[in-house]
Chain A
Amino acid sequence: MKLTGAQILIKMIKAQGVNTIFGYPGGATIDIHDEILKHDDLRHVLVRHEQGAVHMADAYARAHQTTGVALVTSGPGATNAVTGLASAHCDSIPIVVFTGQVPTGLIGNDAFQEVDIVGITRPCTKHNYLVKDPSKLAEIIQEAFFIAGSGRPGPVLVDLPKDIIQAMIDFQMPGPVKMHTYKPNYKPNKKQIAKAVKMVKEARRPVMFAGGGVILSGASKEFTRIAKLTNIPVTASLMGLGAFPGSDPNWLGMLGMHGTYRANMSIGHSDLIFAAGVRFDDRVTGNLEKFAPDAKVIQIDIDPTSIHKNVEVDCPIVGDCKMALADIAALMEKEVPEDLMKDRDAWLNRINEWKQLTPLKYEQSFDTIKPQYVVKKLHEITKGKAIVTTEVGQNQMWTAQYYHFEAPNHFITSGGLGVMGFGLPAAIGAKAAAPDKTVVCVAGDGSIQMNSQELMTAVAEKLDVKIVILNNRYLGMVRQWQELFYNKVYADTNMEAQPDFVKLAEAYGAKGFRCDDPGKVTQTLETGLNTPGTVIMEFVVEREESVYPMVPAGGAITDMLLV
């Protein structure tokens, strides 16, 4: 059967189960878009900027638990995709991004809209390909999806020169992927599993710590099961929120720079950290030399480079979180239940004291809206069931602190790279993946302006997202650092010059509501969430509210600023 490169591409993508592509056409990719048009079962979401396309694919992947796909053109289309790739790389999100490229004969000649995107994205993709031979196209697409979705997931880029896309060649569906250099190891070592159970039994001050890996491997159930069997308190990194129910009495809240006091104190004073799917990022550990000095560490991770990288590990378990946790739970179920939770009362009491002494708090005001209050109300009104995306900065931290996520894949944020401009496209991508869900983007007035053009995508594609803007007319997180560490010199963080967000919504055909009265927060949220279509709810909040508690960068995590 003779097919064009474009036909092979679409055939192979569909064979991977893909039915949604986020893209933006250009000279180098017209043939592909032309082909997409012929497939009714393939949805193309036309974005307004390529960065948006990649963030949408990222969020789609998380909400749908499959691999997300984006398609952009050569040159600037490809470079605009780089931030999205880097973010997905940091957060280990499986996406495949296809970029157009000038014809192979022109590569290296500084042709119009040519960039070496494979060279540019080498450090921020899990792997990338330049297709130089049309007969390899099918196989490469298959490998790209295999690499993106297996092992520690991540973004893969496939660069497609125009002549490859237009070539007419004999097509045969390739057999299953065989890669002799890439074989991720899923199965944990049995001895290490037994050792972990023994360490849990011996621990008197244990804490469990979930990261994004628990969510990626779909291991929340197994993780929660172990926490129940052992009655061990649980914390999570930003990426791990939702791995363990936020309403559970053993939930400590998030760990790290803006973690709860009790989570940080518990880790700091623990004698065992049972970590799964985490990489001990600096925002979690603070000063490494002072991090959990008495703790032994069990660490489960699919990626051996995550182990022993920052923290010395006593019981490393390389493998899939779900498999490892299931094995540990199975072994624990054979134990006498009391043996798994012996002599822990003093520890649990101590944690409870930390909790009573310094809960998450903010001072309520009757004059100005407190941003935390908006998130708290959002949680109440949506019953904690919405998919919530965030931008980056204070809005992200308040969401992490006050929207107590109950289930995995409901909190979608740019964790590792911290991309402002992520939240709105992410909400659109999540809505495409989960059309029946309420999808809310919690944004700041600064970050929403970074990709606000995607409002048009949301409206045009009828991907209804609800946007909550916490408007303090500052780049709030940087302002907070300036207040605390730069003598209150607010250099370039004032955002008083800003659009009228209600009118901005209306300009794009969305709805807009503004609220500056603490007494009307609930009403505004209810109206906004119940209004069909894409809606902006702008809350004019206390200008100089800060995120607390806080560990100053480089400090010990037990050394927190509380107010």
Chain B
Amino acid sequence: METNRYILSILVDNEPGVLSRISGLFSGRGFNIDSLSVAKTADPHVSVVTMVTFCDAHVIEQIKKQLHKLINVMTVNDLTQKEYVERELALVKVHAKTDKRAEIMRIVDIFRSRIVDVGCSHFIVEVSGDSGKINAFVELMRPMGIVEIASTGTIALGRETGK
């Protein structure tokens, strides 16, 4: 069967141990996790886990059912079945030598990203978008000399039209 990328948005009880139940389920059953992000929602008792996984249609069905079976899981929403918006955010610390500064700033501009810290030798750039955009940005920064990268996992929401 064909492997696809799926984004699941999982609403869970905001309780200790819930993330470990989810990640344990994935490791125990040999499911793949490409990225995972956890955050509070508007309701303080509820957290949202956004998970990206690559698998076939048969496996995603099992993943969804198995997640739903966890006692602390409220809903499992497969965003890839509808219209959705996804974002990642990366902070990229890049060498900023005098002769490269202008070029970095031009690229930052093109990507509609922002320089959030300026030092004598480094910039820290904040860039957000889908993973394709982040990867493209990182590739362009590579020749400049990347010092460090920190990035979030994918987060996503369904669009209104996708109801």
| Interface stretch of the complex, out of A121-129, A230-238, A262-270, A365-373 | A121-129
Interface 0/1 of A382-406, CB less than 8 Å to B: 0000000000000000000000000
Closest B residue, CB atoms, query A143: B71
Cα–Cα, bound, A215→B65 (Å): 24
Specify which of A119, A126, A182 lies most central, judged by the most chain B CB atoms within 10 Å of its CB.
A182
Specify which of B21, B24, B69 lies most central, judged by the most chain A CB atoms within 10 Å of its CB.
B69
* Contact residues, B12-70 vs A (CB, 8 A): 12-13, 17, 20-21, 24-25, 28, 58, 61-62, 65-66, 68-69
Chain B positions within 8 Å of A122 at CB level: 17, 20-21, 24
- Evaluate contact between B13 and A303: CB separation under 8 angstroms: no
Cα–Cα, bound, A309→B62 (Å): 7
- Evaluate contact between B65 and A304: CB separation under 8 angstroms: yes
- Evaluate contact between A303 and B71: CB separation under 8 angstroms: no
Chain A positions within 8 Å of B73 at CB level: 181
Cα–Cα, bound, A179→B71 (Å): 9
Chain B positions within 8 Å of A147 at CB level: 71
Expressed in whole angstroms, the minimum distance between the Cβ of A141 and any Cβ of chain B is: 15
Chain A positions within 8 Å of B61 at CB level: 308
Cα–Cα, bound, A305→B68 (Å): 9
Interface size on B, residues (CB 8 A): 19
Q: Is A38 an interface residue (CB 8 A)?
A: no
Q: Is A180 an interface residue (CB 8 A)?
A: yes
Cα–Cα, bound, A130→B16 (Å): 10
Q: Is A118 an interface residue (CB 8 A)?
A: yes
Q: Is B157 an interface residue (CB 8 A)?
A: no
Chain A positions within 8 Å of B28 at CB level: 123
Expressed in whole angstroms, the minimum distance between the Cβ of A195 and any Cβ of chain B is: 20
Cα–Cα, bound, A506→B24 (Å): 47
- Evaluate contact between B71 and A304: CB separation under 8 angstroms: no
Interface 0/1 of B59-92, CB less than 8 Å to A: 0011001101101111000000000000000000
- Evaluate contact between B58 and A118: CB separation under 8 angstroms: no
Expressed in whole angstroms, the minimum distance between the Cβ of A148 and any Cβ of chain B is: 11
Expressed in whole angstroms, the minimum distance between the Cβ of A340 and any Cβ of chain B is: 32
- Evaluate contact between B13 and A118: CB separation under 8 angstroms: no
Cα–Cα, bound, A179→B58 (Å): 30
Specify which of B12, B17, B21, B71 lies most central, judged by the most chain A CB atoms within 10 Å of its CB.
B71
- Evaluate contact between B20 and A182: CB separation under 8 angstroms: no
A181-B13 contact, Cβ under 8 Å, with A147-B71, A304-B68, A305-B62: yes
Expressed in whole angstroms, the minimum distance between the Cβ of A359 and any Cβ of chain B is: 39
- Evaluate contact between A305 and B71: CB separation under 8 angstroms: no
- Evaluate contact between B71 and A127: CB separation under 8 angstroms: yes
- Evaluate contact between A305 and B65: CB separation under 8 angstroms: yes
Closest B residue, CB atoms, query A312: B58
Cα–Cα, bound, A304→B67 (Å): 11
Chain A positions within 8 Å of B20 at CB level: 119, 122
Closest B residue, CB atoms, query A123: B28
* Contact residues, A169-208 vs B (CB, 8 A): 179-182
- Evaluate contact between B24 and A123: CB separation under 8 angstroms: yes
Expressed in whole angstroms, the minimum distance between the Cβ of B101 and any Cβ of chain A is: 48
- Evaluate contact between A126 and B71: CB separation under 8 angstroms: yes
- Evaluate contact between A180 and B74: CB separation under 8 angstroms: yes
Expressed in whole angstroms, the minimum distance between the Cβ of B155 and any Cβ of chain A is: 22
Cα–Cα, bound, A119→B21 (Å): 9
Interface 0/1 of A18-57, CB less than 8 Å to B: 0000000000000000000000000000000000000000
Chain A positions within 8 Å of B62 at CB level: 305, 308-309
Expressed in whole angstroms, the minimum distance between the Cβ of B150 and any Cβ of chain A is: 28
Expressed in whole angstroms, the minimum distance between the Cβ of A192 and any Cβ of chain B is: 17
* Contact residues, A83-130 vs B (CB, 8 A): 118-119, 122-123, 126-127, 130
User: Among A123, A180, A305, A308, which residue has its beta carbon within 8 angstroms of that of B69?
Assistant: A305
Specify which of B24, B25, B65 lies most central, judged by the most chain A CB atoms within 10 Å of its CB.
B65
A181-B72 contact, Cβ under 8 Å, with A305-B66, A308-B58: yes
Expressed in whole angstroms, the minimum distance between the Cβ of A178 and any Cβ of chain B is: 13
Expressed in whole angstroms, the minimum distance between the Cβ of A282 and any Cβ of chain B is: 15
Chain B positions within 8 Å of A123 at CB level: 24-25, 28
Cα–Cα, bound, A180→B45 (Å): 11
Chain A positions within 8 Å of B68 at CB level: 304
Cα–Cα, bound, A119→B19 (Å): 12
Chain B positions within 8 Å of A303 at CB level: 69
Chain B positions within 8 Å of A127 at CB level: 71
Cα–Cα, bound, A181→B75 (Å): 8
Cα–Cα, bound, A52→B12 (Å): 35
Interface 0/1 of B2-19, CB less than 8 Å to A: 000000000011000100
Expressed in whole angstroms, the minimum distance between the Cβ of A370 and any Cβ of chain B is: 42
Expressed in whole angstroms, the minimum distance between the Cβ of B15 and any Cβ of chain A is: 10
Chain A positions within 8 Å of B69 at CB level: 303-305
Chain B positions within 8 Å of A180 at CB level: 74
Cα–Cα, bound, A309→B65 (Å): 10
Chain B positions within 8 Å of A305 at CB level: 62, 65-66, 69
Chain A positions within 8 Å of B74 at CB level: 180-181
Closest A residue, CB atoms, query B71: A127
User: Among A118, A130, A182, which residue has its beta carbon within 8 angstroms of that of B71?
Assistant: A182
Chain A positions within 8 Å of B65 at CB level: 304-305
Chain B positions within 8 Å of A181 at CB level: 12-13, 71-74
Chain A positions within 8 Å of B71 at CB level: 126-127, 147, 179, 181-182
Expressed in whole angstroms, the minimum distance between the Cβ of B144 and any Cβ of chain A is: 44
* Contact residues, A497-532 vs B (CB, 8 A): none
Known: A123-B24, A181-B71. 10 other contacts (CB 8 A): A118-B17, A123-B25, A181-B73, A182-B71, A303-B69, A304-B68, A305-B62, A305-B65, A308-B61, A308-B62
Across the A-B interface, give the 7 residue pairs with the lowest CB-CB distance, nearest first.
A127-B71, A305-B65, A181-B74, A304-B65, A123-B28, A182-B71, A122-B24
7 example contacts (A-B, Cβ-Cβ < 8 A) are as follows: A118-B17, A122-B21, A126-B71, A181-B74, A182-B71, A305-B62, A308-B61
